[in-house]
Amino acid sequence: MKWAECVPCHRRPERCLRIRGKPMPICARCFSILLGYGLIPVFFFMPLRLPWYLGIISQIPMLVDGFTQKWGWRESNNLLRVITGLISGGGLSLLAVAGERFVVTAAERVF
């Protein structure tokens, strides 16, 4: 899976999801973030406009999970990594759509 080589990930086998007993080429959190990016079309075509700051707030669970694990305060697990990764990826998708709308609106005002 050459596509996974471009993803900046530690690729630790014990933190990767497994398919038929073989670890995926990226960790559970990175994979879930990529899945969360799949929400870009949903947010783009959704009639309800969610505030951009929800995209920033949605990064908090992943940051708390990642840093508390890194600092040795507790041990995370793949289920928690998947959940926080999906929340983060969805939030980044929301930020991408909000940024696109901001740029288009600003360009319409200028031109």
Give the pLDDT score at 9: 75
Given a cut of 70, whether residue 40 has pLDDT beyond it is yes
Angle at 57 between CA 73 and CA 63, to 5 degrees: 25
Q: pLDDT above 70 covers what percent of the chain? A: 94
Distances, alpha carbon 107 to alpha carbons 25, 58, 74, 101, in Å: 40, 28, 47, 10
Q: pLDDT above 90 covers what percent of the chain? A: 64
Give the pLDDT score at 74: 94
Q: What is the pLDDT of residues 68-99, one digit of tens each?
A: 999 999 999 999 999 999 999 999 999 999 99
Give the pLDDT score at 7: 66
Helix (H/G/I), strand (E/B), else coil: 19: strand
Q: Span 27-47, mean pLDDT?
A: 92
